[in-house]
Structure 1
Amino acid sequence: MAVTCTTLDQVRENIDLLDQQIVTLLAERGGYVSQAARFKKDSDGVKAPQRVEQVITKVRDLSLEVGANPEVTEQVYRAMIAAFIEQELAEHAALAINQTA
C-alpha cells in the first residue's frame, strides 16, 4: 500500500525503492524463464500463446484484488512477457545448437 507523501522528493524516493524491488524480481523471474527453455521442445512451446493468456487473466484478476489498474497491469505484463519470450527463444536456440554439437 502506498504511503502518503508530502513532497515530490518523497514520491520519487519511494518509487526508487520500488524500482529496486521490481528489477530484483525481474532478475529472479528471468532465471526461471531461462530454466523453462530446457523443458520446451520447440519455439512454439516457447511462445505458448495459451499460457500467455492464462498469465494475463491471472494478473488482471490479481490487480483487481490489490487495487491496481488492470489495464496498466496487462500492458506491463504483455511487454514483459514479450521480452522474456525473446530471451527464452535465444536460450532455446543456444541449447539446440549445444545438443547437436
Structure 2
Amino acid sequence: MAIICTTLEQVRKNIDRLDHQIVALLAERGGFVSQAARFKKDSDSVKAPQRVEQVIDKVRDLSQSLGANPDVTEQVYRAMIAAFIQQELAEHAVLSKESKA
C-alpha cells in the first residue's frame, strides 16, 4: 500500500528510507555478481548480451505488474547491469591471472 505524504519532508524521508533498502539490495546483488565471475570462462561469457536482454524483458514485465514505469526500470537496469559487468570483468581478470600463476 502506498504511503500518502502530506509534506515534502515526508516524501524525502520515505525516499531516504527506500534508498537505504536499494543500496542494501545492490550490495547483495554485487556479492552474487562477484560469485558469478568464478563460473565464467572468458570475458564474452561475463558480458552475456543474451542474458542481459532476458533480465531486461523480465524486469519490464515485473515493472508493469507492479505499477512502475517500464521505461524507467529498463534504463535503471541497463545502467546497473553495465556497472556490474565492469565489476565482474575486473574480478574475472584477477581470477584468470590467479589461475595461471
Task: Provide the TM-score with structure 2 as the length reference.
Answer: 0.99
Partner of 2:51: 51
Q: Take 1:83 and 1:51, find their aligned partners in 2: how far apart are those partners?
A: 15
- Residue 62 of structure 2 aligns to a residue whose secondary structure is helix
**C-alpha displacement of 1:2:** 2.8
Task: Provide the TM-score with structure 1 as the length reference.
Answer: 0.99
Structure 2 residue ranges without an equivalent (≥5): none
Which amino acid in 1 is paired with 2:50? Q
Partner of 1:3: 3
Seq. identity, %: 79
Aligned residues: 101
Which amino acid in 2 is paired with 1:75? Q
| Consecutive aligned runs of 4 or more in structure 1 exceeding 6 Å deviation | none
Q: Considering only aligned residues, what root-mean-square deviation do their CA atoms show, in Å?
A: 0.5
- Residue 39 of structure 2 aligns to a residue whose secondary structure is coil
Structure 1 residue ranges without an equivalent (≥5): none
Partner of 1:36: 36
Partner of 1:83: 83
